[in-house]
Every structure is written in structure tokens, then in C-alpha cells.
Amino acid sequence: MTPGPPPVRWGVLSTGRQAAAFAEDLMLLDDAELVAVGSRTAASARAFAARYAVERAYGGGPGELAADPDVDLVYVASVNAAHHGAVRTCLEAGKHVLCEKPLTTNVRDAQDLMRLAEARGLLLMEAMWTRCLPAVRRAARLVADGAVGTPHLLRAATGGRAPAPALARLRDPEGGGALLDSGVYPLALADLLLGTPQYIDARSLSTAPLVDDTTALLLGYPSGAMAELACSFATELPAHADLSGGEARIELPAPFYAADRVLLHPARGPSRAWPLPPTGRGYTHEASEAMRCVRAGLTESPLVPWSATLGVLTVTDAVRGAGSASSHRARHRTREGC
């Protein structure tokens, strides 16, 4: 039997809930090895390392982890506002990077990282796990194959009342707000299923500049399709998604961003369902894709291409740029729609 490739050696930057879930899923992959963890404090890094049997723990930010010669690929799970600096440090140190969504808080910073990754020949991938899930990938194939006919309307929302410990992070004007925290999920789904919007109409309720508690968006596409999207950390919102077309409706049950099945409801005839549960909590799929890209020498993932990351950030930039202290409404026509 031909031996498989050596494991990709991972470093995890952050010790929060997201990093812990990712570490647990990484243990399910035979071709992955978690060898180092980095945090802002040595004590937090040591506690995380002890919990997950990680060899090395680094405090003081991303620099020490990025300098570890035994780390091939870094998963960045720090707060949104810290993504740009952390990812840049890792790329400059020659590390491949999988960074939590949103990759950065604006298009300009994302393009800066993409140019650096391309120049260094390193993988840079946004950890938009939704695009890597089997159920979501099947839904995209169904749409591409014409199962719904001409797409008319996508509806998707995500949100819930945030627990008190999360409010400081969510209300940080440098990277907080419902749109950047959870609104990127419906936006990413719209990008996957419908492409680049021609116009953006949005309304946000805010308690501080650049910090939206709730945002509703209406996106229009050159094909005539529309997307009704919403996000909030102040109120509960239904977390399922559906795309209606001339021939059928596709449904991703709640929570759509972690979907374990896809349903097709034709205008005529019985409904069909494809149960496609993720492995582990679902982070395994983005991790496997990142490792496949590293082994193939790719700088970007075909499943989560840079164009998709920039497409979502273009919308968030347009909406957040119109912010005010109480509420705002943004109208924006994209370049393609001019």
C-alpha cells in the first residue's frame, strides 16, 4: 500500500470557543496534526495546549507562533479587527493561512493580504465553512444544473440575542456589528447561488457608528433575481434559507450556515431530500480543503475563492460606509450595474 502524504502541521492562533471547536474537529482528520497554539497571554496558550495535547504554546500575539519552523498552516480565529495584522504576520513568516470570516473588515485590507499571499506563493483562504459543507455544495450544484429553473428570490437570515460576554466584541467599532459577525453568512450564500449583485438596498438599526444591531438587505442581480437577507444580535431571526425559482424551491433547513441536508420542492411532483451531515462540527471540511490546496500549491481555494471573499466585503463596505449613531439606509449600485 502506498503511504499517504505526511500530515499538515497546524498552528491555531486564539484560544476562544471557535478555536476550540476547530481543534476538536482537526483531531478527526488523519492527515492533520495540531502542533502549536498562540494567544495574547502565555497562560491561555498553555491551558489550551494542555487541553488538546498540543506540543508548544506561545503567548504575546501571532509573532511567536508564526516563527515556529514546524508549523505549515495557521488557523487564525482572533477577533475580526485583529485578522489583518495576524494574517499579515503569518504570511510574512512564510505560513499558509486559513482565517476565520470575515477575512478582514474591509476590501482594502483583504486585497493587501491577497497580494502578499500571491507574491509569496502561499495559501490564503477565508474560513467560510458554509461554502465547504456537503449540503451547501449540493444545493449549489442543483442550482447550477437548473433544478429550480430561473432563480427568482433567495431568503436567508441569521441572528439571535447575543449573550452578555459577547457584547463587547460585537460592539467594537473596528470590527463588530451584526453584519460582520453573522451577516456574512447569508451574504456568502447569496454570492454562491446568485453571483455579484447589481444593486444593494440596506437598512440598519445601530447603537453606535459602524456597529449595527440589526441589518436587512435587498440585493438585486442582473438576471432579475433578488435576495432578501437579514442579520441581528438583538433579536431572534429564522435561520433557514430557501431559493425559489420558476420550477422549484431549494431549502436549507436551520441553521442554513451549518446545513446537514438540502431539500428540493418542485412546483409539480414530490419533494426530494439529500441528507448530507457534516463530519464532526463541520470545520473538518474547510480544514481538508485548505490542506488539499496547500499540497496542490494553490494560493486560493476554488471552493472559497478570493472573488467570493471580496464580493461579500464589497457589500459590507457599502452598507457600513453609510453608518450613523441610530439608524441608516444605504443604497448602492455596483460597478457592474452602472
Which CATH number is 8-128 given? Answer: 3.40.50.720
Whether the per-residue pLDDT at 326 is higher than 50: the answer is no
Whether the per-residue pLDDT at 266 is higher than 90: the answer is yes
Residue with cell 471573499: 309
What is the four-CA torsion angle of 127, 132, 136, 141, rounded to 10 degrees? 130
Sheet holding 73-76, edge to edge: 56-58, 32-38, 8-13, 73-76, 96-100, 124-127
DSSP 36-95: EEE-SSHHHHHHHHHHHT-SEEE-SSHHHHHT-TT--EEEE-S-GGGHHHHHHHHHHTT-
Categorize the per-residue pLDDT at 57 as very low, low, confident or very high, splitting at 50, 70 and 90.
very high
User: What element of type H or E holds 158?
Assistant: strand 151-159
Q: Report the alpha-carbon distance of residue 195 to residue 216 in Å, rounded.
A: 19
Domain-by-domain residue ranges, the chain?
Answer: 8-128, 131-283+312-337
pLDDT in tens, 126-138: 999 999 999 999 9
Q: How many CB atoms lie within 10 A of CB 41?
A: 12
Which is more confident, 57 or 210? 57
- Residue 330: the pLDDT is 59
- What the block records as the C-alpha cell of 22 is 476547530
Q: Do the domains 131-283+312-337 and 8-128 match in fold? A: no
β-strand partners of 157: 230
Please identify every residue annotated as catalytic: 101
Are the C-beta atoms of 314 and 294 separated by less than 8 Å? no
Report the percent of the chain where pLDDT is more than 90: 85
The dihedral sign for the CA sequence 288, 291, 292, 293: positive
β-strand partners of 225: none
pLDDT in tens, 188-245: 999 999 999 999 999 999 877 778 999 999 999 999 999 999 999 999 999 999 999 9
Q: Residue 234 gets which letter from DSSP?
A: S
User: How far separated are the first and last CA of the chain, in Å rounded?
Assistant: 58
Whether the per-residue pLDDT at 4 is higher than 90: the answer is no
Q: Report the alpha-carbon distance of residue 199 to residue 192 in Å, rounded.
A: 17
Categorize the per-residue pLDDT at 332 as very low, low, confident or very high, splitting at 50, 70 and 90.
low
Q: Report the alpha-carbon distance of residue 154 to residue 193 in Å, rounded.
A: 9
- Residue 336: the pLDDT is 43
The stretch 170-197 carries a mean pLDDT of 94
Q: Report the alpha-carbon distance of residue 24 to residue 289 in Å, rounded.
A: 17
β-strand partners of 26: none
Categorize the per-residue pLDDT at 162 as very low, low, confident or very high, splitting at 50, 70 and 90.
confident
Mean pLDDT taken over the chain: 93
Return phi, psi of residue 124, to 5°: -130, 115
Ranges of beta strands (E only) in 160-279 are 199-208, 211-220, 226-232, 241-245, 248-252, 261-266, 272-275
pLDDT in tens, 5-48: 899 999 999 999 999 999 999 999 999 999 999 999 999 999 99
pLDDT in tens, 59-102: 988 999 999 999 999 999 999 999 999 999 999 999 999 999 99
Please give the CATH superfamily to which domain 131-283+312-337 belongs.
Dihydrodipicolinate Reductase; domain 2 (3.30.360.10)
Are the C-beta atoms of 140 and 167 separated by less than 8 Å? no
Helix axes 42-52, 17-26, angle to 10 degrees: 30
- What the block records as the C-alpha cell of 288 is 481538508
Q: Report the alpha-carbon distance of residue 137 to residue 242 in Å, rounded.
A: 14
